[in-house]
Chain A
Amino acid sequence: MAYSEKVIDHYENPRNVGSFKKDDEGVATGMVGAPACGDVMKLQIKVNKHGIIEDAKFKTYGCGSAIASSSLVTEWVKGKSVDEAATIKNTQIAAELALPPVKIHCSILAEDAIKAAIADYRKKYGAGEEATAQAQPAMKAAD
């Protein structure tokens, strides 16, 4: 499959790979997808007391487009307020990476991952804003 240079760049040099400790101050986690479908994304944000996303990390199991989509969104959410981050749309991700039609689901998953992380943040820290998005944590792990 022919990928755009941007996808290949993110795949070969993924930004912000890793994990924060789940219970660290300001950390929220979103995990979306399913192994049987071939993609799982974990996106974590670290929000400061002003409601700004200071840092973000991801881990993704999936194809090159899924890895690139999640790598890209970690770059995009950094420095944004939680509310601003919630407005990122999958179409922007797909356009930036020039994803082919069969890979659009990867950008949708990345948008879901942001929303899931923000929902987790609001649940944990009760940040007051009206509940954005229909997103919910996709994973109820046994941990």
Chain B
Amino acid sequence: MSSKNPIYLDYSATTPVDPRVAEKMIPWLTERFGNPASRSHPFGWEAEQAVENARVEVAKLVNADSKEIVWTSGATESDNLALKGAAHFYKTKGKHLITMKTEHKAVLDTMRELEREGFDVTYMDPRPDGLLDLEKLKAAIRPDTIVVSIMMVNNEIGVIQPIAEIGEITRAKGIIFHVDAAQATGKVAIDLEKLKVDLMSFSAHKTYGPKGIGALYVRRKPRVRLEAQMHGGGHEKGLRSGTLATHQIVGMGEAFRIARLEMGAENERIRVLRDKLLAGFRDMEEIYVNGDLEKRVPHNLNVSFNYVEGESLIMGMKELAVSSGSACTSASLEPSYVLRALGRNDELAHSSIRFTLGRFTTEADIDFAVKLIKERIGKLREMSPLWEMYKDGIDLNTVQWAAH
């Protein structure tokens, strides 16, 4: 095992580029290298055509018009353009924005920046199952609220937020609704003709496309206006200047085309594997699934293994490439802010593992993972004084710990 790569169960961090996608990209790096903005020769014309074909493919996956798709460098840039762009454009209407504590840092940190600029931001708590409480959202909306930003699929726990319902609330009040869908494409059906979403961020590399390319959907009817954040040659109708990366765009288009054609069958296959993984843990004690299991993408399983510390867990599972909710890289431990927002205590947040499955996960991978995890959790628990106390019937909450 030692010379082999670990089994990859971290598809929400990134996915490999599908070989079919990579194959489509290569000619656009070498012989077909033209600048899509070059209007005076065929090198430019064919590159522009390739970019527009890809735009159509991205739009088709989410049932939008290709004119509503703006290329960016990834979902982080899309989130920045959407939030700063809308806040700056609509600032005379109001200064208030609403988001959730469990959003990706690309949204949270952008919100912090807007606060520094003088905007006012409300960070909503999720319910213990990870989902947004719609009544609380309604109560948080103020007359000066201009933007609501809620992600479609959470990157850590995989829960799917009630985007359709939120859109009804925001549209009725004339509030711009931004959705970070980086973790949703190819996993959840998205129909932007039905959803009352105004801005939606996409990433290629979470959906078997290349890193470094993403897109922002900007609704045309009713029209949403943004202030550009990147200035230059006026590309993308002035919303995002910079020479278009034809090969990356072609890759994203092909990745999203494949997702549209294959997501139905693929998601069912992955759901069976995910359920098998969960079933493998059923006979273990003190296991907690984080986030709602029903309103969740089939790819994600986030589990806390109580009484085992997260980093040692990751170290004990070096045959698996997974993510931990414990960021034990500094002297002050920081457990996952997402799990903390769900109300999980520090210990459970520290002991969580995120398994994310994908296109190339096999049944043999899952069988191997279950066997390995059981063995290693058992070993670490045998070594854990907390497990021993739990087994002796001591309530750890009654113990007076020395802080250090």
Return the chain A residue nearest B333 by Cβ. Answer: A38
Complex contacts, A41 vs chain B, CB 8 Å: 385
* B65-73, B190-198, B309-317 - the one binding chain A: B309-317
Complex contacts, A61 vs chain B, CB 8 Å: 307-309, 383-387
Q: B312 and A142: CB pair below 8 A?
A: no
Q: Which of B312, B350, B382, B404 interacts with A105 by CB under 8 Å?
A: B404
Return the chain A residue nearest B328 by Cβ. Answer: A63
Do most interface residues of chain A lie in helix, strand or loop, or is the interface mixed?
A: mixed
Q: B354-397 interface mask toward A, CB cutoff 8 Å, 1 = contact, 0 = none?
A: 00000000000000000000000000001111111100101110
Q: How large is the interface on B (under 10, 10 to 19, 20 to 34, 35 or more residues)?
A: 35 or more
Complex contacts, B326 vs chain A, CB 8 Å: 38
Q: How large is the interface on A (under 10, 10 to 19, 20 to 34, 35 or more residues)?
A: 35 or more
A42 to B385: give the CA distance in the assembly, Å: 6
Q: A38 and B328: CB pair below 8 A?
A: yes
Q: Which of B3-58 contact A (CB under 8 A)?
A: none
Smallest CB separation, B375 vs chain A (Å): 13
Q: Which of B345, B385, B389, B404 interacts with A37 by CB under 8 Å?
A: B404
Q: Which of A65-98 contact B (CB under 8 A)?
A: 66-67
Q: Which of B311, B350, B387, B395 interacts with A142 by CB under 8 Å?
A: B395
Asked if B400 is at the interface (CB within 8 A of a chain A CB), the reply is: yes
Q: Which of B328, B387, B402 has the most CB of A within 10 A?
A: B402
Q: Which of B259-298 contact A (CB under 8 A)?
A: none
Complex contacts, A112 vs chain B, CB 8 Å: 404
Complex contacts, B386 vs chain A, CB 8 Å: 35, 40, 61
Q: A64 and B402: CB pair below 8 A?
A: no
- Could you name 21 residue pairs across A and B whose Cβ atoms are closer than 8 Å? A3-B315, A17-B382, A32-B402, A34-B403, A35-B401, A36-B345, A36-B346, A38-B310, A39-B309, A40-B401, A59-B388, A61-B307, A61-B309, A62-B309, A64-B312, A102-B329, A109-B404, A139-B399, A139-B401, A142-B398, A143-B394
Interface residues of chain B, those whose CB is within 8 Å of chain A, are 307-312, 315-316, 326, 328-331, 333, 345-347, 350, 382-389, 392, 394-396, 398-404
Interface residues of chain A, those whose CB is within 8 Å of chain B, are 1, 3, 11, 14, 17, 19, 31-42, 59-64, 66-67, 102, 104-105, 108-109, 112, 138-143
Query: What 14 additional pairs, Cβ within 8 angstroms, besides A17-B383, A64-B315, A140-B400?
Result: A34-B403, A36-B347, A37-B403, A37-B404, A38-B309, A60-B384, A61-B385, A62-B309, A67-B383, A102-B331, A104-B331, A139-B401, A142-B398, A143-B394
